[in-house]
Amino acid sequence: MKGWSGRLLWIDLTRKESKVVEYPAEWSLMYLGGRGLAARILWEYMKPGADPLGPDNLLILAIGPLTGLPGPSTGKLQVAAKSPLTGGYGDGNVGTTFSNEMRKAGLDAVVFSGVSDKPVVVEIENTKVNFEPADDLWGLDTWTAEERLRKRYGRFAGIVEIGPAGERLVKFATIISQEGRSGGRPGIGAVMGSKKIKAVVMRGSEKYELYDSKEYMAEATKALIEIKNRPGYPFWMRQGTMATIDWAQETSVLPTYNFDEGVFDGFKGIDGYTMESMKVEQRGCPNCNMQCGNVVLDRAGVKSELDYENVALLGSNLGIDHLADAAYLNRIGDQMGYDTESLGTTLSWAIEASQAGLLKDYDGGLRLEWGDAKTLADVAYQIANRSTPLGDLLAEASSGACRKVGGCDFSMDVKGLGVSAYDCHAAPGMALAFATSPIGAHHKDAWVISWEVQNDRFAYSKEKAAKVIELQRIRGGLFESFTTCRLPWVEVGLNIEHYPLLLYYSTGVKYTWDDLYAIGDRVYALIRAIWIREKGSWSRDYDMPPVKWFKRPLTKGPLSGMHLDYDKYNQLLNYYYELRGWDYNGVPTKATLHRLGLDFVIPELEKYVKLS
């Protein structure tokens, strides 16, 4: 088969040994790559019940059959492990030249097991591995560390690294590359830190073959031209995801004051037009002709690369109405190496907790206020370094902190992961998408909200549950496994029919849409099996959205008074389970597992739950 190398590089950090492993071809066909491959590897090789920050956890860097090829936005890398934040499956997606180098190295995945005794930079050249001491880099922020590594390894090397947050095992630390690209919201950077890997450097120089290079190039070129000719392309190039601020305000979903409200009086100070007036540079991931990294100068005059999610959660959600202040917090996130979305949900929880008097044993008399960007920035550094009792507490994210001091009824998370930037008081479908996302409350698997606000918004219908599943299949199942950026399809409307063709010309395998949807469903069921195995039990309580959306109605804007309804949400969840072939508790049935070719998980799952 072409398109996949069929090889993974296994690196044992404890023994400082590595080997190339040929994995079964069936895995490529059934799981594609990226997320799907990572899930299959975790199921097969991770010791059940592994400590997420111990030697038995596996850190996986994976690509798919379209990654790193010329074509629409293909420069993405999947990073996955058991999450120290949620205790379940965790992953993320980073735009980085690392993935291009991995393709040239002839590797579909790199798997790290064990723990190094000292900080290291793992240098990979094709399949040759070298462990370089990283004492001189340990403690450095991600920008400085990467700059030094570039001097050492050259401009074209693929480099991913962690910052102080990953080193100090902040539960929402991420893996960073190229200054503004971050992946692995559920603490995948902390897993890398626990293994004492400061950075991984990838250089590849092998030739790879595609099934039909000529047809592949013709199809890829067609797709790239189509992207540039789409009507939304010019505006996308101006604002990228930042256009969402105005839309979220108009539709009352802009997270405001720790998701108390869906509208923010100061939204104009942080919106896409303000960003345009401040823009100094445009960047993005490799292999992309619709680059969306909008760079502005932050409050300190330093460059910061913005997206909607981080601006909403570090802006309106904290009561901040100056883009330069939100950009400052965002830049701290990139340099310290943690997830800006969880930083936003954790700080907003902390303000509410501080005002309720819950932090008095930790805050040394400090009272946190909405909009106080300067104090919040100080706290952000304390979190990254765990340098104060308050910072150490908040490094556990709102979900971990509230278990110590109370306030879990206003921690905006699902399964421990902070919700992305969409208020769901009046959006039951998006609430379902967050609640059933396979890594905790991330919008990446099913951004159903734009469809929802136009289609019977307040309904808790079977049609809505079906739409969530359809999007989860394509976004979470396929794009995460192709591994390429989904935004050409989502944001500028690239015809999705290019993808099966690109896949065929890359691999020689003709997938129908039924085959592809089955892959999406298989990846979801397998990830759910990992969760059940790691939690040792399961119930539908895991698939509930944050209680605030049920209990505290909106008080501002045109949807004032709206909130989610428990009984109706439970019915929506029933529809979802029924359509997926999962039982009342959200466990895939034996028939579903059999249909998806996952019989091998049945004996293991039967140790923890009763399968119907």
Which residue from 469, 485, 481 is spatially nearest to 511, judged by alpha carbons? Answer: 481
284 binds, among ligand PTT, ligand SF4, none (CB under 5 to 8 A by kind): ligand SF4
Structure tokens at 183: 């992946």
Q: Please give the Cα distance from 397 to 377 (Å, whole number).
A: 16
Q: Please give the Cα distance from 475 to 86 (Å, whole number).
A: 21
Q: Please give the Cα distance from 374 to 329 (Å, whole number).
A: 9
Binder among 292, 313, 350, 474 for ligand SF4 (CB under 6 A): 292
When the beta carbons of 74 and 258 are compared against ligand SF4, the nearer one is: 74
- Segment lying near ligand PTT (by CB under 6 A), choices 304-312, 350-358, 580-588, 602-610: 304-312
94 binds, among ligand SF4, ligand PTT, none (CB under 5 to 8 A by kind): ligand PTT
When the beta carbons of 63 and 288 are compared against ligand SF4, the nearer one is: 288
Angle between helices 513-535 and 566-580 (to 10 degrees): 120
DSSP 582: B
* Residue of closest CB approach to ligand PTT: 92
Cα→Cα distances 612→107, 602, 608, Å: 39, 11, 13
560 binds, among ligand PTT, ligand SF4, none (CB under 5 to 8 A by kind): none
Q: Please give the Cα distance from 376 to 325 (Å, whole number).
A: 10
Q: Are 591 and 585 in contact (CB under 8 A)?
A: no
Could you give the 3-state DSSP secondary structure of residue 386?
coil
- Considering only residues 61 to 100 of the shown chain, the ones binding ligand SF4 according to CB under 6 A are 73, 95
Buried b (16+ CB within 10 A) or exposed e, 68-103: bbebbbbbbbbbbbbbbbbbbbbbbbbbbbbbbbbb
Could you give the 3-state DSSP secondary structure of residue 101?
helix
Using rule CB under 6 A, residue 184 touches ligand PTT: yes
- Considering only residues 69 to 128 of the shown chain, the ones binding ligand PTT according to CB under 6 A are 76, 92-95
Using rule CB under 6 A, residue 418 touches ligand PTT: no
Type and span of the H or E element at 74: none
Structure tokens at 114: 């064990």
When the beta carbons of 346 and 354 are compared against ligand PTT, the nearer one is: 346
Q: Are 417 and 339 in contact (CB under 8 A)?
A: no
Using rule CB under 6 A, residue 351 touches ligand PTT: no
Cα→Cα distances 297→38, 322, 601, Å: 37, 12, 50
* Per-position x/- string for 446-485, each x denoting binding to ligand PTT as judged by CB under 6 A, each - no binding: ---------------------------------xx----x
Q: Please give the Cα distance from 414 to 563 (Å, whole number).
A: 17
Binder among 80, 253, 285, 449 for ligand SF4 (CB under 6 A): 285
Using rule CB under 6 A, residue 363 touches ligand PTT: no
- Segment lying near ligand PTT (by CB under 6 A), choices 271-279, 334-342, 465-473, 591-599: 334-342
Using rule CB under 6 A, residue 314 touches ligand PTT: no
Binder among 57, 256, 340, 398 for ligand PTT (CB under 6 A): 340
Q: Taking the complex as a whole, how short is the minimal distance between the CB of residue 292 and ligand SF4, in angstroms? A: 3
Type and span of the H or E element at 322: none
Give the interface with ligand SF4 as residue ranges (CB under 6 A).
Answer: 73, 95, 284-285, 288, 290-293, 485, 487
Give the interface with ligand PTT as residue ranges (CB under 6 A).
Answer: 76, 92-95, 174, 180-185, 241, 285, 305, 307-310, 330, 333-334, 339-341, 444, 479-480, 485-487
